[in-house]
Amino acid sequence: MRSDRSGRTWRVVTAVAVFTATALSAGPAAADVPPGVYGRVAGVGSPVSHPLLDALSTLTPEPQGSWRLISSYGPTGAARIKTKPVACEFDRPTSAAAGKLALRASEGEDVGAGPGSFDGDDVRGCVDYARATTYPLAQPMGTGSYTYIPVGVSAVTAAVHGSGDLPLGWSVPQMQRIYKCFDGAVAGVPATPRYLRPSRPGALPNPTWDHWLVRMSITQVEIDLGDYPCLAVDTDLDPFTVALPVFPLVEENDGTALAGRLGDVMPFAVEAYVAQGNAVTIAAATGIVVTDRRGPALLSGLRLTGGPMRQPTVNGAVNVDFPFKRDVYDVVPTRRLAEQEPYTAEAFVGPDAVGCTATVTVGGTPRSLTELFGLGRRTTRVGPLEAECGYTGLRADT
């Protein structure tokens, strides 16, 4: 049992019924709370942390059943969502950027179509938090209209065929040279870089591919121009048409694409790989369905120049010291913290928040829900932008 600051008691249960089918296979989840059920804190945004927030939602029901402490609306599903009992029906945000715009509009800001408007709907008071994969500033700031509260650590790495001869340990320069088409082999073994479905306007985002491009120091614009012919080829010399992929595009976090391709390499979100491996446990403990699409893929370690080889996982979750890591956040209006709004505090604020401490019992042993879904978990602050779960010192105005 847990009590919020207003004295309300929340019961974090260890098993629940399956209310809706949830597809967490490649990353984005398709589940929302059931019709007629709402979250005291309702959130939208990035698909990366939605599986965890979706599970937290199922584990925090109020006794009468019409409310939960947390609700999380993923990037897929019905075109429109309803986040509160009165009004609050609007177009589903499908990305981290759209989620933050919806949150800002909910706070009454003008994000392009008038105060409080998101895609033509008045959403004031409809969104309580946004799921985000980046902090918007290069240096931490302690003041701002929005507080970025760390919820876990995500990571991306290379995946190779488990029966192939490609190494399970690469240096970052080796990987970058393969993806920039400078080299066609690593350690004497031919290597073929695979191109994931990119994020496009009007389509679902692909945060795994977006993160990978940053780490490879290449851009989607460069690929579309044909600058990397091992990924895509410009066939018409027209800069306004995208270069054609050399091989069929691969869906996000789908290791079955490596079947029969022993020399291929592809990016894979570490937390998605772990969650897929935990599919049976997750279903039994939370009712959430995860489709295991790891196929023959194995995750590779990576080494920065001059540094040690780091493995992508430690103790069954993202290694928080992995080179290609990033924090994921629940973004909340700073005013809610100043007002000591109890639901936001209970859900996200401090190391004792539900979002940081929720566990499920597996084989008689409590397991962190965050780590069950693969995200790394910090309990101490290790750097200016590497804080513990529940930390409220990272703020910005957007």
Question: For residue 261, what is the domain's CATH number?
Answer: 3.40.190
Mean pLDDT on 88-95: 96
Q: Is residue 40 part of a domain?
A: yes
Question: In 231-368, which residue ranges form alpha helices assigned H by DSSP?
Answer: 270-277, 279-286, 334-338, 342-348, 354-357
Task: Confirm if 322 and 374 have CB atoms less than 8 A apart.
Answer: no
- How far is 369 from 375, CA to CA, in rounded Å? 9
Task: Confirm if 92 and 44 have CB atoms less than 8 A apart.
Answer: yes
Asked if residue 279 and residue 134 are part of one domain, the reply reads no
- How far is 319 from 254, CA to CA, in rounded Å? 21
pLDDT digits (tens, 9 = 90+) for 343-392: 999 999 999 999 999 999 988 899 999 999 999 999 999 999 999 999 99
- How far is 396 from 302, CA to CA, in rounded Å? 32
Per-residue pLDDT at 306: 92
Band (1; pLDDT cuts 50, 70, 90): very low
Asked if residue 278 and residue 187 are part of one domain, the reply reads yes
* Percent of the chain surpassing pLDDT 90: 83
Task: Confirm if 41 and 347 have CB atoms less than 8 A apart.
Answer: yes
Asked if residue 311 and residue 172 are part of one domain, the reply reads yes
Asked if residue 162 and residue 147 are part of one domain, the reply reads no
CB atoms within 10 A of CB 288: 27
Length of the chain: 398
> 327 φ, ψ to 5°?
-80, 150
Query: What's CA 346's distance to the chain center, in Å?
Result: 22
- How far is 323 from 302, CA to CA, in rounded Å? 7
Per-residue pLDDT at 163: 97
Give the containing element (helix H, strand E) for 266: strand 264-269
Asked if residue 362 and residue 278 are part of one domain, the reply reads no
Asked if residue 264 and residue 237 are part of one domain, the reply reads yes
Asked if residue 57 and residue 145 are part of one domain, the reply reads yes
Per-residue pLDDT at 152: 97
CB atoms within 10 A of CB 276: 25
Per-residue pLDDT at 19: 26
Task: Confirm if 45 and 130 have CB atoms less than 8 A apart.
Answer: yes
Question: In the chain, which residue ranges form alpha helices assigned H by DSSP?
Answer: 50-58, 96-106, 172-179, 207-216, 220-224, 270-277, 279-286, 334-338, 342-348, 354-357, 369-372
Residues spanned by the domain of 194: 157-318
Q: Which two tokens stand for residue 386?
A: 């590497």
pLDDT digits (tens, 9 = 90+) for 28-41: 344 788 889 999 99
* Percent of the chain surpassing pLDDT 70: 92
- How far is 207 from 48, CA to CA, in rounded Å? 7
Q: Is residue 352 part of a domain?
A: yes
Q: Is residue 323 part of a domain?
A: no
Asked if residue 351 and residue 256 are part of one domain, the reply reads no
Q: Is residue 304 part of a domain?
A: yes
Mean pLDDT on 154-175: 97
Q: Is residue 324 part of a domain?
A: no
Domain count, the chain: 2
Q: Is residue 375 part of a domain?
A: no
Q: Is residue 16 part of a domain?
A: yes
Per-residue pLDDT at 63: 82
Asked if residue 16 and residue 110 are part of one domain, the reply reads yes
- Long-range contacts of residues 337-344, Cβ cutoff 8 Å, at least 24 apart: 337/147, 337/392, 340/5, 342/4, 342/5, 342/6, 342/8, 343/4, 343/40, 343/41, 343/69, 343/128, 344/41, 344/128, 344/129
User: 45: left (phi > 0), else alpha (psi -120 to 50), else beta?
Assistant: left
Asked if residue 146 and residue 11 are part of one domain, the reply reads yes
- How far is 239 from 146, CA to CA, in rounded Å? 39
Beta bridge partners of 132: 329
Asked if residue 283 and residue 167 are part of one domain, the reply reads yes
Beta bridge partners of 269: 156
Exposure on the CB side of residue 267, measured as CA atoms within 13 A: 28
Task: Confirm if 71 and 39 have CB atoms less than 8 A apart.
Answer: yes
pLDDT digits (tens, 9 = 90+) for 232-251: 999 888 878 999 999 999 99
